[in-house]
Every structure is written in C-alpha cells, then in structure tokens.
Structure 1
Amino acid sequence: MADEKRNEVTSGPATEVQRDSDAHSDVYVDRPNGWIYRGFKFRGKEIWYASPTIQLLMVSLVCFMCPGMFNALSGLGGGGQVDARAQQYANTALYGVFAVVGFFSGTIANVLGLRLTLSFGGLGYALYAASFLAYNHIQSFAFVVFAGCFLGVCAGLLWTAQGAIMMSYPPEKLKGRYISWFWVIFNMGGVIGSLIPLAQNINKTSGAVTDGTYAGLIVLMFIGLVLAMFLVNADKVIREDGTKVILMKSPSWKTEFIGLWETLYRDPWIILLFPMFFASNIFYTYQTNGVNAIMFNIRTRSLNGLLYWLSQIVGAIVFGYALDFPNVRRSLRAKISFAVLVALTMGIWGGGYAWQSKQVSRAEASTDEYKANHLVDWTDGGENYIGPMFLYFFYGFYDAVWQTCMYWYMGALSNSGRKAANLAGFYKGLQSLGACIFFALDSQKISYDTLFTITWAILGASLVVGAPVILTRIKDTVSVEEDLKFSDETIEDVVVGIDDKRAGTA
C-alpha cells in the first residue's frame, strides 16, 4: 500500500497527494473516531467537519463576515462619511502596513496556525468599523488612522491564511472553480453588507450613514472572527480520497527571506507580473471615492455598492468556470482569458473615460452648494443615473475578472506549495502597495480626471508587461519533477503516502 501511494502525484499549490481520479470522489477511509471526522451525506457524497469542503466553506464565511463587510463599508465611498478624508488617511495607513506585513505573514501564520491567524485577522476589521462609528461623534482622525494601521496587520494575516487554504486544496482542473466559489461567498458579504446601509438610509439623501449601519457591520465582523475559532488547522484536514493536505512551512524569518529571494533568482520572469500585482487594487480609490462618493447621495451610494458586489459574483462565476473549461487546453484558456481581459480593460474603462470627461471638477464637487443641490439620486433616472449605474456595475464585474484571473494564473504557474505561497506574498504585498499609493494620491486631492487616467494607464501597461508570462509560461500541466527541478526538496519530501488504516492520523 505504501509503495502504491508513493507513486501518486501531487496536485495543488500545497503539494498534497491525491489519486488521478476526481479529487472529490467518495473513497472510504478508516478515519479517526473524533467528531470532526464523523461523516454525513450531502447530495450523495460523504463529507465531514475536517474535510476540505467544509473548511473552505467556513473560511469563505469568515471572509464573508469580515472583508466582505469591509468592502460594503468601503463601497459607500468615504467610509460612509460626507468628508472622505478620514477614510483616505485610514486606508493609506492600512495598505501601507499591509504591503509590509503581506510579504512575511506566512511565518506568523505558521506559528499561530490558520485558525488563530484568521480569527486575529477578523479583530482588525471590527475595530476599523468601530472607528468610523466613533468618528460620527468625536471626529478623531487619530483613532481612524490607528484602526487602519491595525487592520493592515490583521488583513495581512487573514488573507495569508485564506490564500493558503484556497490555493492548496484544489487540483489543477478545479482551481478556477474553487476560486469562483470562494469569490461568490466572499462577495455575498459585500452584497448583504450593502443591504444594511441601504435599509438604514433608504429615506436619507444627505449626511453620513447612521450609527446603526456601523453597528450592524461591527456585529457581523465580530461573528466572523468568532467563527474562525471553529476551524481546524491544516494538519487535521483529511481529503475525501483519504489523503492529508500538506502545507509547506517557513519556520523562521530567515527561511522566509530565502524563499522570497529564491523565487526571484530561479524564475526572474515572475517580475513581469509585478505590475499586474500592483494594479490589482488601485482602481478602488477612483471607483469608490471618485465616482460613488462624490457624485451620488447617500442612499444611492448604498444601492450602487449593492450592485457593485452583485456584479462581482457574476464575474467570478462566469470566469471561474470558464477558466476550468475541460474541452480547451489550459495554455489556450490562458491566452483566451488574457485577450478577454485586455478587451474588458479597453471597453469598460473606455466607457468610464466617456463618462468622466463630462463630470465637474473635484473642487466644484466639494462645495456645499453642489452637495446640497446636484448629487444624483436613483429617482433621477435616464442619463443622470441609469448610465452611471451600469458603468459602476461593470467596474465591479471587471474587478472580479481581474482577481479571478490573477489567482488562476498564479495557480497555473506552479503546484509547489512554497512557490505558490511566495507568489501570493508578492501579490498581496504589491497589491497593497498600489492601494496605499493611490489612497495617498487621493488624500492630496489630485483631480479625478488625473486619477482616472493614471489608473487606466497602469492597468493597460501592466497587461503589456505581463503578456509574455501569461502567453508563454502557462502550460497544460506542471509535473512534480518540474516543480522540484531547482529545489532542494525531493519527491519523497512532498509526496506523502498514507496507509488506509492511518489515513486520519494527525
């Protein structure tokens, strides 16, 4: 039995073992007697609490409650405040800290475990929302900025744990699907979270959002961090085919630095993806503060936020499943998806340019007279609202497409847990750096015409720079031997055979 298992191949960034058959096939194993391994039937398949399916669902729900509610709050523009400066300063601090922590949070996650890492990450989201509730009464910039810094640490940890789980469980042929499932549940947080301010402010056309809006978001975020405490750590997870999910570990700061350096030294072409990493969050600043916050009244901003996150779900489903389409080779799917991404960048942002060129200046939009008499309401209809509404909807769709494609591209480049973790670290670090810089630019009150132009230019340029990697480096499959060609590890290090009687041993 051990020899048979040794000949199995690994699949997925965490370098786990699975049979060549469908990773979700029901193969009975003699699991331990603990309640976390007690199986139950769901749609004809046996699953258990410590199975990847349940654990991925729980992680998705944690992100639904915490980052999802954060997205709902951010989608209001200005954090729901009339004056967006508080959010500008808070988010500049948030993403600045996130950019640093994101590179090295894997080490902390390995010490704390995924369960505590996710739960601690949720604490920062609740404090961030609480700081805006306090701002409604005491206008404390210091508290908001501190909450942003603290959330930068927490978000780096939460997204590291989330990425480790999402990218380590699926086999090659299901990576896009897993990403889309997570993205749908996660963005349902933005949808549900947007319903709260919409209901709270349904009859309100001016001023900041109500205290009840912030209170509702805080409660949901707190539930999310508590839910994270009920996860099991990766070493307890048993797959449906009886194999254990093995997560690569970086037990010290030294190995973390070495791993980052080796990724660049051995595969320098990865640098060509860095502009796309950097660009992956920069558009939020213009979309939330330059479109939603400055052009619409408070209840319309709430409705726009709801539509934005609904469009993310549509984009994730469409592209997640399309990227796994079995009748087209993976290398060809990469080329087709890249061509569609280029077309969407030109089409959607081209429409955005046509709209932005007709808007008033930032200075005029900031006057009390404009805020009192010219903010758009959903009852205005026609060219005043329907056109901008669809534009904002497609901005959200574009965000989901970009993020889904980026995660899929990274997962398609390697099945090595170490390389995938390093790519994810670079991705989150550079992504946060981009967001930090653009929120800082916004705090300096540059014109929204300029902010739009810079955003669109960087998106287009990053596609040009990253094209050689996506078009030439993504192959139909990546073998274990190829992943280990330049590594000190051997197949024996990463392929773990498990006897049926020991399949559930932690």
Structure 2
Amino acid sequence: MAGSLPYFASRTQIIILGFVCFGCPGMFNALNGTGGGGQVDRTAGNNANTALYVCFIFSGLFGGAIVNKCGVRFTMFTGGIMFALYSASYIYINHTGNSWFTIWAGAMLGLGAGVFWTAQGMIMMSYPLENEKGKFITIFWIIFNLGGVLGGVVLLLTNYNHEGPLSDAAYAAFLAIEVCGAFCALVLAPPSKVKRSDGSSIEIKKVENILDDALAILRLFADPWMLLLIPMMFSSNFYYSYQFGPYNGSLFTTRTKGFNNIWYWGAQMATSFALTRLLDHQSLSRKLRALIGVAITFCAVNAVWTGTFLMQSRYTHGASAAGPTDYPGGAIDFKDTARAAGPCILYACMGIQDALWNNMAYWLLGTITNDASKLARYAGFYKAIQSIGAAVSWQLDAKNVAFKTQLAVNWALLDVAAIMMFYLSFRITNSAVEFTESEREMLVQANADVDTDTEKILVIDD
C-alpha cells in the first residue's frame, strides 16, 4: 500500500544528488576547465559548447514540465548518460581529427543537461527548510565540486609527462566516472516520498500537459522577479569560456591545466562552506544576510577581474597549432614556482568568485517561493537564460574575439548583474509565504499591499 511505503530524509537526497553531479557535470567541468575540452585547438570544443547551450535553452524551458511529468530519477539518469557521450566524443577527435561527432554530442548533452539541471535545481531549492537553504546548497556544492577536484587529479596524473591534447586514458577515465554518476541518479527517491527536516512533505503539482507547463515557464518573462534576475542568470556561466579558454587553456602546460583545476574546484568547496555560515545565520535577518552575501560577491568579482586584467595585459593569445603563447617566457608549468604561483593562485580565486556567484544565485531564487513545482519552473527558466549567455560566450572565443574584449564584457556583465542582486536583496523578507488564489483576490479587493515589514512576500500562482 502506498501509505506504508517509507519516506526518505531530504538531507540524504541532497547528498545523493551531490554524488550524481560529482560524477556527471563535475567531470564535465574538469574537462571543460582545460579549455577546448583538452584539445590544443579550442575550435571544436567551443563549437560543441555553443551547440550544447543552444539546445540547453530549449530543454531548460521545457525542463520544469518534463521533470514534473517524468520524475527526477529518469530525467537525471538520461541527462547523466549524455555527459558520458560527450567525453567519449573526444576520443574520436584524437583518432580522426574530425569534430562533427563532438559537436553533435554537445547538442545531445544540451538536450539532456537542461532537464538534468532543472531537476537538480528543483531538488536543491525545495527540499530544505528556509533556515537550511544555505546548508543544503553547501552540502551539494562541496560534493559536486569534489568531482571537479578528482577530474583535475585525473588530468594531472594521465598527462603528467604528456603535452598536447589530452590522452585517450584521460577521456576514458572521465567516461567511466560519468556513467557511474548517471546510475547514481536511479537511487534518488520520488519527491512525494521525501520528508523535510520538520516532517513536512514535498508537494509537486501533477502536470497533465507538458506544453502548458512550458508556456507557464515562458510567462516568467512577465514576472518582475525573474526579469530582475535575468542579468544574474545570463552571466552565471558566461565567464567560464574566458576562464577556461583565454586564461587556463592559453597560459599553462597540459599537466598544469589539470593541476589548476584541482585548486579551482577545491576553492569552490571551501568558499561554499564559508558562505553557508552567513546564509543560515539565524540571528541576522534574511535581508541583511542577502545584502552582506551580495556585497562580498561584488567585492570578490571586482578583485578577481582586476587581477585578471593585470595578467591579460601581458599576452594576447595562447598556444595553438600556429605556435606558442606570447606570454613572457612561454607556457607556465606549475613546477616553475616563481612564474606559476601568482597565475595559479589567481585561477583558484576565479573558483572562489564562481562559488560565491552561483551559491548566491540559487539562494536568492530560493527566497522567492517554497513551492516545489514553481521552483522547478524557476530552475528551468534560470538554466535557459544561463544557457543563452553561455552560448554567446563560447562563440566569442570560437570567433577569436580579442581576449581583452572578452574580459571587458565579462566584467561589465557581472557588475550590472550584481546591482540587480542588490536591489532584490533589499526586497527580501524573512519568509516566503504562499497565498492561494482566493487569498490573493481578497488582498487585491481590499487594496492591501503586502508590506515587507510583515515579513511576507506575495507569490502569485500562474
């Protein structure tokens, strides 16, 4: 009988989710972090990422409906297998030099990953209680980024005495870990069988028509909260193409790219842990926590990109088939400590900025509502907008846009988005209280606005 079936703890589900992402996008991030998927010529990797994120846009828009209809296990398993397909495609490039398979695999990954990340976002934002959101995000982020650290170790060990494109052994190791990560998704419990820490249930509204739900996601373009956060969403993956390509992919030897990834993703784990101490600090109002968090993020953004600007002023291009980088002294190897210390530390600081940005993004979205169905839509919308930005950014590098121009665009986008995040932070209240349609109508008829002093936020159902 359904009533006799066991319930599963929300924290356990977040831990399992972390291991799914450890094996799938964690490995993808480590691979992408080398620039061009580990190839000397980044063209194939850049075009594959563009195809990925263009397809991601559409799968993200439909993602909330698909997750609500098909469940989290099937959608995350299917999306996870696409990560493995993408890594396998680079073995084909190593042996043929042809990029079509990698670009096609990138497109397939985009279709699967849009739904994958929508399911992930819905779980991460709706399973915790309001005073646990920072903690749960941190648990997930640490396990997830441990995948990037392991990926960096794999890259370092398999290419320690190898220069040029990544070896077949490196790609095969990524493939095996990603397949294991995909199968971990099958261990996830249905949301209806998950209990929060206080014993409350996760309520998912049944989707009867996927198209109608997708249209509900499109209507979020009329939601003032979502419009306000579009710059934050658009820029949240935009900087990856610059950090992974013109910086890590251009300045360092093959083994050092792997070494750098260990510290980039390791810094994310430490940063996320530190940030949760603030975001779940109950003695501070949620508004004050938001303002402090965004202020820290804003300062980190400008400190990191100031350092990056100083580095970028020393070179114009990276190593390629046409020749070595014009950075003074050539490609940097981590064993040359005098030359490597500063650039490697700066790359780790880029990981700190990324963790701050994305943790704050998820946390801010989670302050708007606690409704799991709405959060699935929000997650799909977030990933769709994020993917538009990523598709644009990967093409900037594919079209050989000057490195300094790419840097300037990234820096400006992040600062504009941070201003919007500050504005939202001023509007945040201590609780996301849901109103039914009848309650909403009563408020409207009474001409009663919900004031921030009441510690409520009006969430209008679609």
Residue type matched to 1:303 in 2? Answer: F
* Deviation digits for residues 56-88 of structure 1 (CA, Å, limit 9, x no counterpart): 211111111000010111112211111111100
Alignment of 1:387-466 (within 5 A): 387-466=342-421
Residue type matched to 1:110 in 2? Answer: N
Cα distance in 2, alignment partners of residues 285 and 186 from structure 1: 20
Gaps (5+ residues) in structure 1? Answer: 1-30, 38-47, 489-506
Cα distance in 2, alignment partners of residues 411 and 306 from structure 1: 29
* Deviation digits for residues 321-349 of structure 1 (CA, Å, limit 9, x no counterpart): 21111111111111111211221121111
1:268 Cα offset (Å): 2.0
1:247 Cα offset (Å): 2.0
Residue type matched to 2:350 in 1? Answer: Y
- Which residue of structure 2 aligns with residue 90 of structure 1? 48
* Deviation digits for residues 105-149 of structure 1 (CA, Å, limit 9, x no counterpart): 122222321111110011100000000111110122110010000
* Deviation digits for residues 413-450 of structure 1 (CA, Å, limit 9, x no counterpart): 22233442332222111111101001011110011111
- Which residue of structure 1 aligns with residue 303 of structure 2? 347
Aligned: 1:231 with 2:188? yes
Q: Secondary structure at the match of 1:413?
A: coil
| C-alpha contact (below 8 Å) 2:65/2:377 kept by paired residues | no
Which of the numbers 112, 127, 141 marks the counterpart of 2:99? 141
Alignment of 1:32-51 (within 5 A): 37=6, 50-51=8-9
Q: Identity of paired residues, percent?
A: 36
| C-alpha contact (below 8 Å) 2:11/2:136 kept by paired residues | no
Aligned: 1:253 with 2:210? yes
Q: Alpha carbons of 1:249 and 1:347: their partners in 2 closer, same or farther (altered >3 Å)?
A: farther
Cα distance in 1, alignment partners of residues 311 and 436 from structure 2: 48
* Deviation digits for residues 27-52 of structure 1 (CA, Å, limit 9, x no counterpart): xxxx9665xx3xxxxxxxxxx7x322
Residue type matched to 1:219 in 2? Answer: A
1:482 Cα offset (Å): 8.2
Aligned: 1:118 with 2:72? no
| C-alpha contact (below 8 Å) 1:168/1:247 kept by paired residues | no
Q: Secondary structure at the match of 2:411?
A: helix
1:460 Cα offset (Å): 1.0
Alignment of 1:124-273 (within 5 A): 124-204=82-162, 206-239=163-196, 241-260=198-217, 262-265=219-222, 267-273=223-229
Cα distance in 2, alignment partners of residues 239 and 463 from structure 1: 32
Cα distance in 2, alignment partners of residues 247 and 171 from structure 1: 16
* Deviation digits for residues 199-256 of structure 1 (CA, Å, limit 9, x no counterpart): 111222x211111101011001011111212222122334454443212343323431
In angstroms, what is the RMSD of aligned CA positions? 2.3
Gaps (5+ residues) in structure 2? Answer: 443-462
Q: Alpha carbons of 1:482 and 1:469: their partners in 2 closer, same or farther (altered >3 Å)?
A: farther
TM-score of the superposition, structure 1-length normalised? 0.82
Which of the numbers 272, 286, 307 marks the counterpart of 1:330? 286
* Deviation digits for residues 393-427 of structure 1 (CA, Å, limit 9, x no counterpart): 00001000000001111111222334423322221
Cα distance in 2, alignment partners of residues 85 and 159 from structure 1: 26
Residue type matched to 2:417 in 1? Answer: S
Greater relative contact order (Cα < 8 A, sep 6+): 1
Moved more, 101-110 or 438-447: 101-110
Structure with larger Rg: 1
Q: Alpha carbons of 1:450 and 1:484: their partners in 2 closer, same or farther (altered >3 Å)?
A: farther
Residue type matched to 1:260 in 2? Answer: I
TM-score of the superposition, structure 2-length normalised? 0.90
Aligned: 1:79 with 2:79? no
| C-alpha contact (below 8 Å) 2:52/2:110 kept by paired residues | yes
Which of the numbers 8, 12, 19 marks the counterpart of 1:61? 19
